[in-house]
Chain A
Amino acid sequence: MTNLQFLWVVAVAQGVLLVALIILIILNRWFRLRRSARLQPRRRELDAAMQGWAMGRAPAAEVERALARLPVSLAVDALVTWSARVPGERWQDLSRVLANQWWTRVVRTNNRSARWWKRLECARFLSVAATPHDIGRVLRLLHDDHPAVQIAAANTLERLTSPILVTAALEQLPLLGTTVQAYYASALKKARPAVVRHLQQLFRRPDDPRLPRVVEFAARLEHPDLRAPFTALATHRDPEVRSQVARALGKYPHAESVVALRLLAQDGLWPVRAQAIRSLGMIADPATVQLVRDALRDGEWWVRLRAGLALTRFGAAGRNVLLAVEVGAHEASRDMARLVLGLSPQALAEYAA
């Protein structure tokens, strides 16, 4: 074959490929439109059935039938979407009904699939429709290799309370990346009693390097049984633990919390002081107004800001302090008082959040 002949072969092959690609693009678009036109009425039918069932006007069997008429991926999508709108107990009834459907059995068996997207589909389905029989499957998915599957499986904890799953998730928690950890934590909030018991055990290990993460997570729960362990950690040597404790105690308006926060407000590190002052504002104990006023003279701008914002939560007493400081002699606190008094209610609300 000569060079010219070779080039001709390449050119012809390229031409065929170009035409094939153009046909592929057009056909793909056409098939998609047809598929969408075919599925749209079924989606609407499902939405109507779900609406009727959620309001108690239609039997669950109607929802079952409508779901079975959709492709599995769309049925799972619809379940995930609707699960957020229907109350928990009623949703659990549907989960039980769905357990015997042929397509849900297929989805469930996918928890052992070699393909991660099949396992992901299974995890997403179980996150909204798991029954106590699925605990083994969820446990397996929680330990899956693919992080997306793990995350989806962790969502199951919001609906299915099982000490086995909670323990498995909590054990994994400190080993995960910060973001994944926080996401697990939000999923675990629903399973409070089992989680709190486990956390109380973890709090008894002050030298555990996982403690800052555990405290951060525990703070999100706002459970009354965790107040005492938090106050005990106010003198912990790790500043991150102290900072997390200072933040958490704001949600526990109790005399012991105030004592701990008074101590933390004198901390050598400004992030701890700022959090403590913020929490004192949240508790708004009139006896701490003077302490918060003193924080307006702090060398760190952020602590002064937190003090100014905290004073706005003390009602008239706090406002009077700010007005007095605004015309006072101390320049830094005067500027901060002026700044805080000039903030709009929306800005104050945003800072509080």
Chain B
Amino acid sequence: MSPVIHGADLAILLYFLVLNSFYALLLVLSIPEIWEQTRLAEDEDFQRLMQSDALPPISILVPAHNESATIEASVTAILTLEYRNFEIIVVNDGSKDDTLERLRHAFDLYEVPRTYPETIATKPLRALYRSRARTRLMVIDKENGGKADSLNAAVNASRFPLVIAVDADTLIEPDALLRLTRPFLLGRHIAAVGGTVRVANGCTVKDGRVTDARVSGRFLPGVQVVEYLRAFLFGRLGWNRLGGTLVISGAFGLFRKEYLHAIGGYRTTSVVEDLDLVVRLHRYLRQHKQHYEIPFIPDPVAWTEVPESARILSRQRERWHRGLVAAMWLYKGMLFNPRYGRVGLIAMPFFTFGETLAPLVEVVGYVITLGGLLLGAVNVNFALLFVLVAWGYGMLLSLWAVVLEEVSFQRYRRFGDLGRLLLFATLENFGYRQRTVWWRVKAFWLVFRQKQAWGEMTRKGFESAGKQVTEPSTARRADAQR
């Protein structure tokens, strides 16, 4: 029995050694990247850019399903973004509440005929509306088909060459679009570009804008602030240098429309349509030998509300991991395939063996260590120290994300918020991490049983002074962090 346990322990140790070395590589690569991005962000003269008509026109796609509580404020906030040339296409995806009525009343909608072809097949449209008050706005009313289907309907209706998908409950900073188009201004061949999503819980929100960035004092949203920082500020910046960005947040990502058309739009059967879309984009562009980039830039910011209850968070994480497992399985042909360059040789293996399998390996590690301890096959000191080192490494990565935030954008200006960031970065590994591992392991079981559901998510909505609206509404949640 003992050799088996030792062998398994050694395999797990090696797995974590390789995985953590890769994280260390991402960490090192994030340093020059944040340096460059910060310099570019600081040096831009946005006033001059705003006066220029050089910026490419953008279609903002807003899928809305039962968003009655927030839709008017969200659309108004988007309409006042600092950008010269954009249109908004809101898709009412068969809402059961009065989302459409609210829009009709607030923006004086009138029905117009459809004047564009259905390039990507979607559920039937009921009607198209334009606004008498705001010409930038178009509203599509369609039968319920899910978020991906709504986005496809909006892509069909969009007029401009760049499209950005924004969740109706996401708050975009006024200059975010301007910043998001920086790679285009730098003349790069961009297929898609992602910005940062931050946690809005605890922040002061006024007129659809985050006016005071705070770190929530509550454990679950607070610890997610650290998670989001880690995911965006060092994970994705590191991937920028490796050229293998596989995830652009569904809550805030800009895409070149011609490529969306080429790959047939969003896949409606995927529960994480954003990851699926980016993987397919890579596949298509590599297969067609196109020169392209899919970068992440850290300074355009959108704020999203994260789950505050463990029940809802578990559903979200479970679904994210279910989508990841399904996507990695679906696109397994790209794995270690030199035809797909760095995506096939680095990104896909990392996401498959690192991100996807990590929770399974971690659970197996806990079980074997416990088993070994019970059977006396493992040295107690060694086991405890090993677990401590593994958690310590997690803390190092989280703290590194806080360092990057501090040396670059410093959105959380109070010392109290900094203290909370440090506290949550430390506490994350004790209990929270193990729970997320369990939720992610459960996802394998659901994939095995072929469950496809999104699940209803209770959302409270934003209100001024950072307090939450008391009446809960149900809506599809953002795929923000993953």
Report whether A22 and B133 are in contact in the complex, using a CB–CB cutoff of 8 Å. Answer: no
- Is A220 engaged at the interface, CB distance under 8 Å to the other chain? yes
Report whether A147 and B188 are in contact in the complex, using a CB–CB cutoff of 8 Å. Answer: yes
| Known A-B contacts A21-B396, A117-B39, A177-B187; A7 and B386 likewise in contact (beta carbons under 8 Å) | yes
Report whether A186 and B393 are in contact in the complex, using a CB–CB cutoff of 8 Å. Answer: no
Q: Identify A183's interface contact among B54, B400, B403, CB under 8 A.
A: B54
Which parts of A166-193 form the interface with B (CB within 8 Å)?
Answer: 176-186
**Separation in Å of the B9 CB from the closest CB of chain A?**
10
| Known A-B contacts A24-B403, A28-B407, A342-B110; A8 and B385 likewise in contact (beta carbons under 8 Å) | yes
| Known A-B contacts A84-B48, A147-B186, A147-B188; A301 and B392 likewise in contact (beta carbons under 8 Å) | no
Report whether B39 and A120 are in contact in the complex, using a CB–CB cutoff of 8 Å. Answer: yes
Report whether A302 and B115 are in contact in the complex, using a CB–CB cutoff of 8 Å. Answer: yes
Which parts of A268-326 form the interface with B (CB within 8 Å)?
Answer: 300-302
- Is A124 engaged at the interface, CB distance under 8 Å to the other chain? yes
Q: Identify B43's interface contact among A29, A124, A181, CB under 8 A.
A: A124
Report whether B379 and A179 are in contact in the complex, using a CB–CB cutoff of 8 Å. Answer: no
| Known A-B contacts A10-B389, A11-B392, A124-B43; A4 and B186 likewise in contact (beta carbons under 8 Å) | no
Report whether B399 and A22 are in contact in the complex, using a CB–CB cutoff of 8 Å. Answer: yes
Question: Taking CB as reference atom, which chain B residue is nearest A175?
Answer: B187
What's the tally of chain B residues with a CB closer than 8 Å to chain A? 51
Q: Identify B400's interface contact among A21, A148, A176, A185, CB under 8 A.
A: A21
| Known A-B contacts A25-B402, A177-B187; A84 and B47 likewise in contact (beta carbons under 8 Å) | yes
> Which residues of A sit under 8 angstroms from B56, Cβ to Cβ?
178-179
Report whether A11 and B388 are in contact in the complex, using a CB–CB cutoff of 8 Å. Answer: yes
> Which residues of A sit under 8 angstroms from B43, Cβ to Cβ?
117, 120-121, 124, 148, 152
- 1/0 per residue, CB under 8 A from A, across B112-132: the answer is 110100000000000000011
A255 to B364, CA, bound (A): 83
> Which residues of B sit under 8 angstroms from A7, Cβ to Cβ?
382, 385-386, 389
Known: A17-B396, A21-B396, A117-B39. 17 other contacts (CB 8 A): A7-B385, A11-B389, A21-B402, A21-B403, A25-B418, A147-B185, A147-B188, A151-B185, A177-B184, A179-B54, A179-B187, A182-B52, A186-B51, A339-B110, A342-B132, A344-B132, A347-B133
| Known A-B contacts A29-B415, A301-B115; A4 and B181 likewise in contact (beta carbons under 8 Å) | no
Report whether A4 and B187 are in contact in the complex, using a CB–CB cutoff of 8 Å. Answer: no
- Is B433 engaged at the interface, CB distance under 8 Å to the other chain? no
Which parts of A28-82 form the interface with B (CB within 8 Å)?
Answer: 28-29, 32, 80
A342 to B188, CA, bound (A): 43
- Is A113 engaged at the interface, CB distance under 8 Å to the other chain? no
**Separation in Å of the B377 CB from the closest CB of chain A?**
14
Report whether B392 and A343 are in contact in the complex, using a CB–CB cutoff of 8 Å. Answer: no
Question: Taking CB as reference atom, which chain A residue is nearest B392?
Answer: A14
- 1/0 per residue, CB under 8 A from A, across B155-198: the answer is 00000000000000000000000000100111111000000000
Report whether A29 and B406 are in contact in the complex, using a CB–CB cutoff of 8 Å. Answer: yes
> Which residues of B sit under 8 angstroms from A28, Cβ to Cβ?
403, 406-407
Report whether B132 and A4 are in contact in the complex, using a CB–CB cutoff of 8 Å. Answer: no
- Is B290 engaged at the interface, CB distance under 8 Å to the other chain? no
| Known A-B contacts A14-B389, A186-B52; A347 and B135 likewise in contact (beta carbons under 8 Å) | yes
> Which residues of B sit under 8 angstroms from A148, Cβ to Cβ?
40, 43, 186
Report whether A18 and B54 are in contact in the complex, using a CB–CB cutoff of 8 Å. Answer: no
Which parts of B43-82 form the interface with A (CB within 8 Å)?
Answer: 43, 45, 47-48, 51-56
| Known A-B contacts A117-B39, A342-B132; A182 and B54 likewise in contact (beta carbons under 8 Å) | yes
- 1/0 per residue, CB under 8 A from B, across A1-23: the answer is 00110011011001101100110
Question: Taking CB as reference atom, which chain B residue is nearest A123?
Answer: B43
What's the tally of chain A residues with a CB closer than 8 Å to chain B? 54
Report whether B115 and A350 are in contact in the complex, using a CB–CB cutoff of 8 Å. Answer: no
Question: Taking CB as reference atom, which chain B residue is nearest A21?
Answer: B399
- Is B104 engaged at the interface, CB distance under 8 Å to the other chain? no
- Is B136 engaged at the interface, CB distance under 8 Å to the other chain? yes
Question: Taking CB as reference atom, which chain A residue is nearest B415?
Answer: A29
A14 to B110, CA, bound (A): 63
A3 to B383, CA, bound (A): 11
**Separation in Å of the B313 CB from the closest CB of chain A?**
26
- Is B422 engaged at the interface, CB distance under 8 Å to the other chain? yes
- Is A346 engaged at the interface, CB distance under 8 Å to the other chain? yes
Pick 16 A–B contacts, CB within 8 A, sort by A. A3-B382, A18-B396, A28-B403, A117-B43, A151-B185, A177-B188, A180-B54, A181-B54, A182-B52, A183-B54, A186-B52, A186-B54, A339-B110, A344-B132, A347-B135, A350-B136
Question: Taking CB as reference atom, which chain B residue is nearest A303?
Answer: B115
A181 to B187, CA, bound (A): 9
Report whether B112 and A155 are in contact in the complex, using a CB–CB cutoff of 8 Å. Answer: no
| Known A-B contacts A182-B54, A339-B110; A25 and B403 likewise in contact (beta carbons under 8 Å) | yes
Q: Identify B132's interface contact among A152, A181, A183, A347, CB under 8 A.
A: A347
- 1/0 per residue, CB under 8 A from A, across B366-399: the answer is 0000000000000101100110110011011001
A350 to B130, CA, bound (A): 13
- Is B410 engaged at the interface, CB distance under 8 Å to the other chain? yes
> Which residues of A sit under 8 angstroms from B53, Cβ to Cβ?
182, 186, 220
Question: Taking CB as reference atom, which chain B residue is nearest A180?
Answer: B187
- Is A351 engaged at the interface, CB distance under 8 Å to the other chain? yes
Interface centre among B186, B189, B407, B415 (most CB of A within 10 A): B186
- Is B134 engaged at the interface, CB distance under 8 Å to the other chain? yes
Report whether A155 and B48 are in contact in the complex, using a CB–CB cutoff of 8 Å. Answer: yes
**Separation in Å of the A62 CB from the closest CB of chain B?**
25
Which parts of B266-286 form the interface with A (CB within 8 Å)?
Answer: none
A53 to B382, CA, bound (A): 72
> Which residues of A sit under 8 angstroms from B393, Cβ to Cβ?
14
**Separation in Å of the B413 CB from the closest CB of chain A?**
9
> Which residues of A sit under 8 angstroms from B54, Cβ to Cβ?
179-186
| Known A-B contacts A25-B402, A84-B47, A179-B185; A4 and B385 likewise in contact (beta carbons under 8 Å) | yes
Question: Taking CB as reference atom, which chain B residue is nearest A347?
Answer: B135
> Which residues of B sit under 8 angstroms from A120, Cβ to Cβ?
39, 43
> Which residues of A sit under 8 angstroms from B410, Cβ to Cβ?
32
> Which residues of A sit under 8 angstroms from B381, Cβ to Cβ?
4
> Which residues of A sit under 8 angstroms from B407, Cβ to Cβ?
28
**Separation in Å of the A4 CB from the closest CB of chain B?**
5
> Which residues of A sit under 8 angstroms from B388, Cβ to Cβ?
11
Report whether A14 and B396 are in contact in the complex, using a CB–CB cutoff of 8 Å. Answer: yes
Q: Which 4 interchain pairs have the tightest Cβ spacing?
A: A182-B54, A183-B54, A301-B115, A147-B186
Q: Identify B186's interface contact among A24, A180, A339, A343, CB under 8 A.
A: A180
